[in-house]
């Protein structure tokens, strides 16, 4: 937001630091330098990474960037000259005529604008890379323009995105695919993401050939690190993923000196046991524990989609319990529909409502079952956006709220609000067909007064939650640190 | 020992030791079973103990404390069976450990009394519910220290155990007023704090106690009076009730009542209720003064 204003109003751009340059100018210089170094990199990139091949010479619609090489250098030179002059004369600013000053400013602005165009070009490329694999049709995803950014979550925007994706030329195809699946939200749930990640790591281990004179585990670690950096660009890592990965890395360090093949087998085995124990068996145990709490005649409310809750309800249904489920759903992801589909297929009696009907259905409920993205040390539950609201309403109606969470999703983080650490979804998801038809302010992107915020997660304070069901026991949220302490 | 013998021993010990909690008596009974066991197999002993526990539970005493006591015993005392080869050796170790355990349990109350008397200030008015041995002892000890205070005791239907409590207190010279269960709200504005015992402490940090405790806790919260619970740590149990309906029936109804009316518990009066942690200010235990959320931490340390 500020950036836009600055370029328009020269008076604001005048904050000059020690070296006589404004912030803007320094950034512009940096970008220019980078661009000088970049071109060869880009070429390499297009050759090396097979999945990123959708990069023909360069589309014709970026002339300002194209001609830049020389011109920018000239501009830079001119600007430097212009700057060198006023430096000694700073105090004599009054002597310079107004016309001169104006001219100089205009020059600066020009340079900045050019620099900015350059800056914005790389993300476009990134978008292409993202879409490369699944559906090249969806390419027209607009980047969040600066003016639409909300100050309070400014730290959550990741504009570096793919601009330096070229660094990641060693990414294994499985990870490239995974990255696309993450960023297009094909794989969305916390458990699913962890599973997919571990599967990709397995692929990587299988395919990895240690170059001569390198140790397998060390090499694997470096390769894995680049892969993870790449994934981080596609979508911030989930807590479940980081925990799984941390576990894998400790195992990686423990593998003794053996032949590469044996090591590979051992590591593959480790991953399989991790998935089996921490995800599958934990799910079973949680399902058993929750099933003790589900009795005939219950009306169970659930929000969004959770693989674990689906499993629990399925088990309860198969055990012959008579109960009803109310699936609450919220925009923009509408995950509840997936949940509803699964439950109805199982044969459970379901009701589907939108979030705004929560208070209407809440008084019929006997308990709430919620999934979780992570459980934090201070007992807060991080989950899909909207969960806190559902829990709050449940609290108001004094209904017991059960959060189902495997212990591998426990995190050492401490959060008390949803802003410090969160993930931003695509703001365009908040547009509906209706808003697109009219000339809604949502569509006309030039409106500086409008900022759109699409957060993906929220945190629910422990006093809204009756209990957390883990594979160890049913616990109050406040016991999260103890569980973290006793976990190996 | 067969079922009848176990029951007889249990009843007799309770009658003899007025001063002991049923949980402790249950553990004593289990020790007796180990002592009297005649065959020489660990497996057989284990079966026998399980039968014994079942027999104790079907007696007409509150099951809550029995349950947690027996669970602790089975977990920590009889674990010795895995460590030793000969049966005699194993039995001796169990008995030895059991006795240490029992002695420690008997000292629990003194520790709690020591902690809790500090909270009774001169001139304070205390409300208590039903009859609790540890509360009684605390009050007596405080009075012995020369503190002047006044007690309100609920009559506590259906067994009117408040009557006994009131007599116990007046006999040692503590001014005591017996009130109706329905007068809890009426006296709440006068008292400084509430002090009750507990039959069991559950994983959430809430308590299971004589019916009426929950009412008292809600009233106290509304009037912003502290609600203190005095309880031994062997009463901690790994149960997580979500609400009153979620308490197991064996806790709520006596064994004889359950047999009479098996299908429809609605008509029977519950003996206990569940007070959620939200209403409890502090728990005084032999492990120290705990907040409700610390209970689960202690339980995790014990069992996981």
Q: Give the burial string for A231-252 (b: 16+ CB within 10 Å, else e).
A: bebbbbbbbbbbbbbebbeebb
Q: Do A479 and B301 touch (CB under 8 A)?
A: no
Taking the C-alpha atoms of residue B300 and residue B304, their distance in angstroms, rounded to an integer, is 5
Strand residues in B105-167 grouped as ranges (E): 125-128, 150-154
Band (pLDDT 50/70/90 cuts) for residue B136 is very high
Taking the C-alpha atoms of residue A154 and residue A337, their distance in angstroms, rounded to an integer, is 31
- Mean pLDDT value of segment A37-56: 42
Q: Residue holding tokens 């390419």?
A: A139
Q: Does B243 touch chain A (CB under 8 A)?
A: yes
Q: Give the burial string for B130-144 (b: 16+ CB within 10 Å, else e).
A: bbbbbbbbbbbbbbe
Structure tokens at A179: 């990255």
- Mean pLDDT value of segment B92-110: 89
Q: What's the start-to-end Cα distance of chain B, in Å?
A: 32
Least confident range of A144-153, A293-302, B229-238: A144-153
pLDDT value for A479: 92
Taking the C-alpha atoms of residue B263 and residue B259, their distance in angstroms, rounded to an integer, is 9
Q: Which residues of A touch B203 (CB under 8 A)?
A: 473-476
Q: Which residues of A touch B247 (CB under 8 A)?
A: none
Q: Residue holding tokens 């379901």?
A: A350
Structure tokens at A342: 């699964």
Spatial contact of A187 and A196, defined as CB atoms under 8 Å apart: yes
Q: Which residues contact A127 (CB under 8 A, 6 or more apart)?
A: A139, A141, A143, A162
Taking the C-alpha atoms of residue B154 and residue B160, their distance in angstroms, rounded to an integer, is 9
Q: Do A367 and B242 touch (CB under 8 A)?
A: yes
Averaged pLDDT score across all residues of chain A: 76
Q: Residue holding tokens 């992107």?
A: A445
Spatial contact of A45 and A165, defined as CB atoms under 8 Å apart: yes
Q: Residue A142 pLDDT > 60, yes or no?
A: no
For A202-238, the pLDDT digits (tens) are 999 888 888 888 888 888 888 899 899 888 888 889 9
Spatial contact of B73 and B100, defined as CB atoms under 8 Å apart: no
Spatial contact of A372 and A238, defined as CB atoms under 8 Å apart: no
Band (pLDDT 50/70/90 cuts) for residue B263 is low
What is the 8-class DSSP label of residue A150? -
pLDDT value for A26: 58
Q: What's the start-to-end Cα distance of chain A, in Å?
A: 46
pLDDT value for A344: 96
When scoring A476, A485, A487 by the number of chain B Cβ atoms within 10 A, the one with the most, hence best to mutate, is A476
Taking the C-alpha atoms of residue A288 and residue A316, their distance in angstroms, rounded to an integer, is 9
Query: Omega into A478 within 30° of 0, i.e. cis?
Result: no
What is the 8-class DSSP label of residue A286? H
pLDDT value for A111: 65
Least confident range of A146-150, A335-339, B253-257: A146-150
Q: From the CB of residue A204, how many other CB atoms can be counted at a distance below 10 Å?
A: 18
Burial of B221 (0-12, 13-18, 19+ CB in 10 A): middle
Phi, psi of A345 (to 5 degrees): -60, -35
Q: Do B301 and A483 touch (CB under 8 A)?
A: no
Q: Residue A47 pLDDT > 70, yes or no?
A: no
Q: Do A472 and B300 touch (CB under 8 A)?
A: yes
For A238-280, the pLDDT digits (tens) are 999 999 999 999 988 888 767 888 888 888 999 999 999 999 9
Least confident range of A10-14, A217-221, B44-48: A10-14
Of the candidates A374, A456, A459, the one whose C-alpha atom is nearest the C-alpha of residue A156 is A456
Taking the C-alpha atoms of residue B159 and residue B129, their distance in angstroms, rounded to an integer, is 12
- Mean pLDDT value of segment A147-157: 73
Share of chain B above pLDDT 90, in %: 56
Q: SS3 for A61-85, per residue? A: CCHHHHCHHHHHHHHHHHHHHHHHC
**Dihedral sign from CA coordinates of A294, A299, A303, A305:** positive
Angle (CA) B72 B73 B76, round 5°: 80
When scoring B201, B206, B214, B240 by the number of chain A Cβ atoms within 10 A, the one with the most, hence best to mutate, is B240
Taking the C-alpha atoms of residue A238 and residue A232, their distance in angstroms, rounded to an integer, is 10
Q: Which residues of B touch A463 (CB under 8 A)?
A: 278
pLDDT value for A370: 96
Q: Do A478 and B238 touch (CB under 8 A)?
A: no
Q: Which residues of B touch A474 (CB under 8 A)?
A: 203, 240
Taking the C-alpha atoms of residue A198 and residue A272, their distance in angstroms, rounded to an integer, is 9
Of the candidates A62, A63, A81, the one whose C-alpha atom is nearest the C-alpha of residue A73 is A81
Question: Higher pLDDT residue, A30 or A376?
Answer: A376
Of the candidates B143, B103, B101, B100, the one whose C-alpha atom is nearest the C-alpha of residue B120 is B143
Domains in chain B with CATH codes: 3-109 (1.20.120.420), 118-303 (3.40.50.10470)
Q: Do A467 and B304 touch (CB under 8 A)?
A: no
What is the 8-class DSSP label of residue A57? S
Q: Please, which residues 169-228 of chain B have a Cβ atom closer than 8 Å to chain A?
A: 203-205
Q: Residue A95 pLDDT > 60, yes or no?
A: no
Least confident range of A76-80, A147-151, A194-198, A386-390: A76-80
Q: Are strands A381-384 and A367-370 parallel, antiparallel or unpaired?
A: unpaired
Q: Residue B242 pLDDT > 80, yes or no?
A: yes
pLDDT value for B184: 96
Least confident range of A21-35, B105-119, B121-135, B155-169: A21-35
Band (pLDDT 50/70/90 cuts) for residue A432 is low
Q: Residue A38 pLDDT > 60, yes or no?
A: no
Phi, psi of A362 (to 5 degrees): -65, -35
Q: Residue A382 pLDDT > 50, yes or no?
A: yes
Q: Within 13 Å of residue B127, how many CA atoms lie on the same side as its CB?
A: 28
Share of chain A above pLDDT 90, in %: 40
pLDDT value for B273: 94
pLDDT value for A407: 93
- Mean pLDDT value of segment A456-479: 94
Select, from the ranges A94-108, A132-146, A209-223, A409-423, the one with the highest average predicted confidence (pLDDT): A409-423
Q: Residue A194 pLDDT > 60, yes or no?
A: yes
pLDDT value for A138: 38
Residue A114 Cα, gap to closest chain B Cα (Å) = 59
Spatial contact of A474 and B296, defined as CB atoms under 8 Å apart: no
Phi, psi of B152 (to 5 degrees): -110, 130
State whether residue A334 is helix, strand or coil.
Answer: coil
Q: Give the burial string for B11-27 (b: 16+ CB within 10 Å, else e).
A: bebbeeeeebbbbbbbb
Q: Which residues of A touch B299 (CB under 8 A)?
A: 473
Spatial contact of A289 and A469, defined as CB atoms under 8 Å apart: yes
pLDDT value for B89: 84
Q: Does B246 touch chain A (CB under 8 A)?
A: yes
Q: Residue A101 pLDDT > 80, yes or no?
A: no
Domains in chain A with CATH codes: 2-139 (no CATH), 170-280 (1.20.120.420), 295-418+455-486 (3.40.50.10470)
Share of chain A above pLDDT 70, in %: 63
Spatial contact of B34 and B70, defined as CB atoms under 8 Å apart: no
Of the candidates A404, A388, A421, the one whose C-alpha atom is nearest the C-alpha of residue A285 is A404
Chain A residue closest in CA terms to B239: A474
State whether residue A418 is helix, strand or coil.
Answer: coil
- Mean pLDDT value of segment A131-145: 42
pLDDT value for B267: 81
* Cα distances (angstroms) measured from residue B304 to each of A274, A412, B138, B207, B241: 20, 20, 33, 21, 19
pLDDT value for B302: 84
Least confident range of A283-297, A414-428, B250-264: B250-264
Of the candidates B89, B112, B27, the one whose C-alpha atom is nearest the C-alpha of residue B288 is B112
Q: Are strands B207-210 and B272-275 parallel, antiparallel or unpaired?
A: antiparallel
Asked if ipTM goes beyond 0.95, one says no
Q: Residue A14 pLDDT > 60, yes or no?
A: no
Taking the C-alpha atoms of residue A171 and residue A50, their distance in angstroms, rounded to an integer, is 10
Chain B residue closest in CA terms to A480: B297
């Amino acid at each position: 937001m500020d950036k836009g204003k600055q370029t328009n109003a020269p008076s604001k751009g005048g904050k000059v630091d020690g070296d006589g340059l404004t912030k803007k100018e320094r950034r512009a210089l940096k970008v220019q330098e980078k661009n000088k170094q970049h071109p060869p990199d880009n070429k390499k990139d297009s050759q090396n990474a097979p999945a990123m091949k959708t990069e023909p010479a360069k589309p014709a619609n970026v002339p300002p960037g194209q001609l830049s090489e020389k011109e920018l250098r000239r501009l830079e030179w001119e600007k430097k000259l212009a700057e060198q002059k006023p430096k000694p004369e700073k105090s004599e600013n009054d002597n310079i005529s107004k016309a001169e000053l104006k001219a100089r400013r205009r020059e600066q602005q020009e340079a900045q604008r050019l620099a900015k165009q350059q800056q914005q070009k790389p993300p476009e490329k990134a978008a292409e890379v993202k879409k490369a694999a699944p559906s090249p049709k969806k390419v027209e995803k607009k980047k969040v323009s600066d003016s639409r950014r909300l100050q309070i979550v400014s730290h959550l925007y990741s504009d570096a995105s793919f601009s330096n994706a070229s660094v990641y030329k060693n990414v294994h195809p499985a990870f490239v695919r995974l990255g696309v699946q993450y960023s297009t939200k094909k794989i969305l749930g916390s458990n699913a993401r962890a599973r997919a990640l571990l599967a990709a790591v397995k692929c990587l281990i299988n395919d990895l050939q240690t170059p001569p004179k390198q140790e397998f585990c060390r090499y694997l670690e470096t390769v894995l690190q680049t892969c993870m950096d790449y994934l981080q660009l596609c979508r911030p890592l989930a807590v479940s993923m980081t925990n799984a990965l941390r576990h894998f890395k400790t195992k990686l360090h423990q593998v003794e000196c053996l032949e590469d093949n044996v090591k590979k087998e051992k590591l593959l085995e480790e991953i399989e046991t991790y998935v089996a124990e921490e995800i599958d068996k934990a799910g079973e145990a949680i399902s058993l524990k929750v099933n003790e709490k589900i009795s005939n005649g219950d009306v169970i409310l659930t929000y969004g989609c959770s693989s674990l809750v689906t499993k629990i309800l399925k088990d309860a249904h198969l055990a012959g319990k008579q109960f009803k489920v109310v699936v609450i759903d919220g925009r923009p992801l509408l995950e509840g529909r997936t949940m509803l589909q699964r439950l109805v297929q199982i044969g459970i009696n379901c009701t589907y409502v939108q979030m705004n009907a929560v208070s209407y259905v809440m008084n019929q409920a006997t308990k709430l079952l919620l999934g979780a993205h992570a459980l934090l040390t201070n007992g807060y539950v991080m989950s899909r956006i909207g969960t806190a609201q559902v829990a709050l309403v449940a609290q108001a109606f004094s209904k017991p709220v059960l959060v189902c969470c495997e212990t591998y999703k426990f995190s050492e983080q401490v959060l008390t609000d949803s802003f410090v650490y969160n993930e931003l979804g695509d703001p365009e998801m908040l547009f509906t067909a209706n808003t697109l038809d009219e000339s809604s302010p949502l569509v006309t992107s030039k409106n500086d007064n409008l900022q759109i915020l699409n957060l993906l997660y929220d945190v629910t304070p422990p006093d809204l939650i009756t209990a957390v069901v883990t594979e160890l026991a049913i616990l109050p949220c406040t016991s999260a640190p103890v569980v973290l302490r006793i976990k190996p | 020992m067969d079922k009848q013998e176990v029951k007889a021993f249990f009843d007799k010990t309770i009658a003899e030791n007025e001063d002991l909690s049923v949980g402790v008596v249950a553990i004593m009974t289990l020790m007796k079973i180990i002592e009297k066991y005649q065959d020489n197999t660990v497996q057989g002993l284990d079966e026998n103990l399980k039968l014994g526990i079942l027999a104790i539970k079907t007696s007409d005493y509150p099951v809550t404390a029995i349950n947690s006591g027996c669970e602790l015993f089975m977990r920590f005392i009889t674990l010795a069976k895995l460590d030793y080869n000969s049966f005699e050796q194993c039995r001796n170790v169990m008995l030895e450990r059991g006795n240490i355990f029992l002695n420690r349990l008997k000292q629990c109350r003194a520790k709690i009394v020591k902690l809790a008397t500090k909270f009774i200030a001169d001139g304070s008015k205390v409300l208590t519910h039903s009859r609790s041995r540890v509360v009684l002892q605390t009050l007596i000890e405080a009075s012995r220290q020369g503190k002047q205070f006044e007690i309100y005791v609920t009559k506590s239907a259906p067994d009117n155990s408040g009557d006994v409590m009131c007599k116990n207190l007046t006999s040692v010279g503590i001014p005591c007023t017996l009130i109706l269960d329905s007068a809890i709200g009426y006296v709440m504005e006068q008292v400084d704090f509430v002090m009750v015992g507990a039959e069991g402490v559950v994983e959430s940090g809430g308590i299971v106690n004589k019916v009426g405790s929950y009412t008292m806790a809600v009233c106290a919260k509304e009037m912003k009076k502290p609600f203190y619970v005095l309880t031994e740590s062997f009463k901690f149990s790994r149960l997580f009730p979500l609400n009153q309906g979620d308490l197991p029936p064996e806790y709520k109804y006596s064994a004889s009542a359950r047999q009479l009316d098996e299908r429809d518990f609605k008509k029977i009066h519950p003996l206990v209720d569940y007070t959620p942690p939200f209403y409890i200010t502090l728990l005084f235990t032999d492990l120290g003064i705990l907040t409700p959320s610390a209970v689960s931490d202690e339980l995790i340390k014990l069992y996981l």
